[in-house]
Amino acid sequence: MKIVHMADSHLGFSAYGRVDRLGRNQREEMIYRGFAETVEKIIKLAPDAVVHAGDVFHHVRPRIRPLVVFKQNLERLIEAGIPVIIISGNHDAPKSYAALSPFTLFEGMEGVHIAHHYLYERFELGGCQFHCIPFCLGPEDYLEEFQKMQKFRMENPSGRDVLVMHGLVEALWDRRLRTVGEHELKESFLKGDLSYIALGHYHGQAQVARNAWYSGSVEYFRFSEAKDDKGILLVDLDSGYVEQIPLMERYMIDPEPVDCVGLSSAEIEELLRRISAEVGIEGKIVRLRLRNLSREAYRSLSQKVIGELKGQALHLEILPEFRDDPASFETEPMDSRELPLEFKRFLEGEAAREGIPASIREEVISYGTDLMSRISERSRTESFDAPQ
């Protein structure tokens, strides 16, 4: 039996503000096209099943467009006779039992099997047991759900078993994305007696145990992924062989930083032109890092030159790195809907460190959380039903 393992499609992700002639975000449309091309590639590979290991959608409340795109491509797979197993990830799973999952819309579709209720679910296809542990509300919940799988396997031994989970294994925790609901998966989950373990969340393709892989995201989302080869995995459950299937040429470019010590603004402008021509920025997402830059030279850069370069790329980010800048790390863009929860956690952390006087602690947390909730709601209201 052969399966395709994919994950982290993040349908609905948008960025950079550029729109096409229909008013649609160009970055978002690029991701939809890439997803359709991925499905086309899968149909040509003709596997016995597809496993999507979480984060189908970028938002827990997707707009109509990503829902329709996903449904259309699901139907293409089903029409080709390829069943699909899906679990929810930290991006597309509600963070409370009271909220409704977007996957509710796809329940009951023939050939589509979805685990999204924070609980272990099992699906049998072609004599293989697919053990699915979707996003759980608490990191401690994964062990309980994993034990349910172990109990079932002890009572019902099978020749082929696939575990599907979403989260970051302990060995990769230093590469966490620092997003809401990012949970650590214990190394003990990587059972050696399973036929295969399909993991989602980490955006790079990586083998983390003999039988356990991250398929990686099918698109580029942050510059830390710029050197990754994006693709899917074709897995032969009988032999254990895993083939990495490339999907696209790299369109996110992040060259090594350029040392600008002692350079004038004119020299830096010429340097930017030369590097842009060498890497080919037309229609691509590019970051150019300028190290040891003079603040005066940076302030004097010609906005005309910068504008011309930015006009060539889908997105061009010029990142100055001054000697006296503190170290920073890259994080994933946050959904405004998660802002109140994250702000509350920040305030509670400050209170615990006695950064907020005890006499006004509760009032500050309550007021701040309410303010962020209103800001988040206003942001969603203003952008709701944007051009589809």
Question: And the tokens for 66?
Answer: 């990503």
Say whether both 128 and 160 belong to one domain: yes
Say whether both 194 and 239 belong to one domain: yes
In angstroms, the CA 314 to CA 14 distance is 12
Residue 184: which H helix or E strand, with range?
A: strand 184-185
Say whether both 305 and 344 belong to one domain: no
pLDDT of 98 reads 87
Task: Choose one of 219, 246, 273: the last residue of a domain.
Answer: 246
In angstroms, the CA 325 to CA 358 distance is 34
Q: Is residue 328 part of a domain?
A: no
Q: Is residue 23 part of a domain?
A: yes
Say whether both 92 and 189 belong to one domain: yes
* Domain hosting residue 355, numbered range: 336-383
CATH number at residue 62: 3.60.21.10
**Cα separations (Å) of 35 from 43, 103, 212, 241, 324?**
12, 17, 24, 25, 42
Say whether both 60 and 188 belong to one domain: yes
Q: Is residue 331 part of a domain?
A: no
Chain centroid to CA 276: how far?
Answer: 28
Say whether both 33 and 169 belong to one domain: yes
Say whether both 285 and 226 belong to one domain: no
Counting the structural domains of the chain, the total is 3
> Closest Cα partner for 141 from 176, 167, 103?
167
pLDDT of 381 reads 41
51-87 pLDDT, tens digit each: 999 999 999 999 999 999 999 999 999 999 999 999 9
pLDDT of 335 reads 56
CB proximity list for 115: less than 8 A, separation 6 or greater: 85, 86, 87, 88, 121, 123, 132, 133, 134, 164
Task: Choose one of 200, 217, 246: the last residue of a domain.
Answer: 246
Query: Which residues face 270 on adjacent strands?
Result: none
Q: What is the pTM of this model?
A: 0.81
Say whether both 188 and 122 belong to one domain: yes
135-187 pLDDT, tens digit each: 999 889 999 999 999 999 999 887 899 999 999 898 887 777 777 678 888 88
Residue 123 has pLDDT above 70, yes or no: yes
195-234 pLDDT, tens digit each: 999 999 999 999 999 999 999 999 999 999 999 999 999 9
> HSE of 220 in the Cβ direction (CA atoms, 13 Å)?
21
One-letter amino acid identity for 77?
L
